[in-house]
Structure 1
Amino acid sequence: MSTDVPRVAKGDQLPELHIPVSRADLVRYAGASGDFNPIHYSRRHANEVGLPDVIAHGMLTMALAGRLVTEWTGDPGSVLHYGVRFTRPVEVPDDEGALVEVAGKVSAVHDDGTAKITITTRSAGQGVLGGASATVRLPE
């Protein structure tokens, strides 16, 4: 967290992130994660299993949302807990890609120097993660 932020209070909003996701990003993530399920790169395969288009990996979506917290704290090691529920996939059309919009707010500040952050993640106007939250250690 930036040193120009003297105190963290319940209700504080974190700076929003708007993250573009392209098919090329999905290919790079597949290589890094080893998840080469064709629903992440082939529209035909996605359609065969009932999806309208190629979708982003759920764990990639979760990681993008987590960036909101790590960029705010400035220290990935400050994240003590992070959890989400996957509620809707992020569709990634071939030409235009997708935009993942992440917002968050401080929902609690605890006496032990930690804070709970509630995270909202949307794509194409719909929520894609439910119950997303992180507990972070605040700087002393």
Structure 2
Amino acid sequence: MEKNMFYNHVSSWIDSYYNAEALEWLRRFINNSAQPLEMKDRLLREVDRKIASLTNMPFFGSYDDMKLLMDEHCHPQIFTTRYAAMSKVAQLRIMGYDARLLEGNSFFRIQLVQSAPVNFISPVNEGRIASLPQQQMKMSA
């Protein structure tokens, strides 16, 4: 019962934090706690999911020995239409992830084949970088 109270309390902290740096502090707190490894893993997955949502990055987690795209509840994200799933795969590939579509009977999931490159540049910043040489050319002319 005491372990369940700890989990609920820390989980509510995770939900209430809206700063990725503060969540890193919470990650260290969880790692240093004297709780069972299974509970620490669950809480650390929640921290990873929250950081991914705050930084607008996809969150992949292990499920049945595969890395799958996860939803906000740390369950494999399921798409009901092929169009929605393919759109998400295309978005992930643009971001540099090697993702592929897994087809079920009436649903689709996305598997991460290989991690994204470390030197990923977000599309928002890419526009700023691409326009920089044009501005420099105007200034030099």
Assess same fold via TM > 0.5: no
**Structure in which a larger fraction of residues adopt strand:** 1
Q: Which has the larger radius of gyration?
A: 2
**Structure in which a larger fraction of residues adopt helix:** 2
Higher RCO (CA 8 Å, separation ≥ 6 residues): 1
Q: Normalization by structure 2: what TM-score?
A: 0.27
